[in-house]
Structure 1
Amino acid sequence: MTTTFITGANRSLGHETARRLIEAGHTVLLGARDPERGRAAADALGARFVRIDVTDDASVAAAAADVAAHEGGIDVLINNAGVLGSHNPADQLTAADAAAVFDVNVVGIVRVTHAFLPLLRKSEHPVVVNVSSGMGSFALTHDPERVEGRYLAPLYTASKAAVTMLTTQYAKALPDVKVNAADPGYTATDFNGHSGPQTVTEGTDAIVALATIGPDGPTGTFRDRHGEMPW
């Protein structure tokens, strides 16, 4: 039985990822910051709720200790929690705005990965999936034909570029762990007022695919539902 821990999983992409992996036979630990919403989501899906705030060292340590006490280890870690951040124009963005976005989207991944690596290493085939975005692709954000090239979000795009680079560096540094990044694509979620053309199921295709790779699967890649993404 594969045990999978997902951050930010009480709604949208994280929730759908949890649903699909449970359907595929995984034991899913649904991580969320809000106890009421997280527990309700977990109960509805048949997952176990674990409270985690990825911006708080003590919360992340407590979550890892909870999993160690109950499951003993995990096979897959999905770093899904993320925020869009300030909608202010670029000339009004502040250092505090940047710190808030990077603390969730980037530092949160480091914080959670550090805490959960000992649990992952109890698995024969440990896997980490970092949910990045095509908005963090240098190639796509310079292509005027792509939606990524027409939408401005300086802090979010910079944070997701950092997530992708962090993924490749972890993949090189941790040869015993498969570490990949997934781009959900422009998906109808709370992030964009449900304006994206993809369904939430389509948006989780790459996440689910990377979460279910075998021991010969890829590492250090950046993929969407159609295949490898340009950096």
Structure 2
Amino acid sequence: MACPEPEPPAHAFPEAEQRGVYRAIHERRDMRHFSGGSVAPEVLRRLLEAAHHAPSVGFMQPWRFIRITDTTLRAPLHALVEQERIRTAQALGQRQEEFMRLKVQGVLEAAELLVVALADGREQHVFGRRTLPQMDVASASCAIQNLWLAARAEGLGMGWVSIFDPLALAQLLGLPAGAEPIALLCLGPVQAFYDQPMLQRERWAQRAPLESLVFDNTWGHASALWAEPPAGAAGV
């Protein structure tokens, strides 16, 4: 006898809107290749509004965004990335040459460049951070992901660059003591989105099977979720 399919939750989005959400998630890419152009101010405001509606532990809202509009700043920012790219390559040992062939940023080509920083005074926020102070980074990462998904829905590419010396970047942009940059976001039009993650396409790494990352009850205990029959399958 076939098991009846469960009713959708009362507050579910219409099916077409659900598909849009999942499409943005699955087609989002960490873009390194940009085609110049521009981002309309109203679109950029929408993207930043989406970022600002991210969840944050204790509602601390630790994110701060610095929009780089002074084109003369792009060269020193690019230089910081290049300096760290070389150091990273040296630290990779046998994969040094392979890494140096990868394109890791679009700082000079992207239409918009945003620096995301953690605000100063974060130590005042104890709610949710007393034992896990790194939740400020987790919260800011949610804001970046919101922006990323919204950008994909708007047809814009975005790349998160984390290859830089944070102290040097903080000094360059005049961050106050205690503030910490965590991302250079390259944003703008692209010729095309990668059909798969660039590092997977370049065979740097592969996406792990989800089943190998989900456990039931204790670490390493394989989840029974993938053993369950799909909805609508014949049952007894």
- TM above 0.5: no
Higher normalized contact order (CA 8 Å, seq sep 6+, divided by chain length): 2
Query: Normalising by structure 2, what TM-score?
Result: 0.27
Query: Normalising by structure 1, what TM-score?
Result: 0.28
Task: Give the greater-gyration-radius structure (CA).
Answer: 2
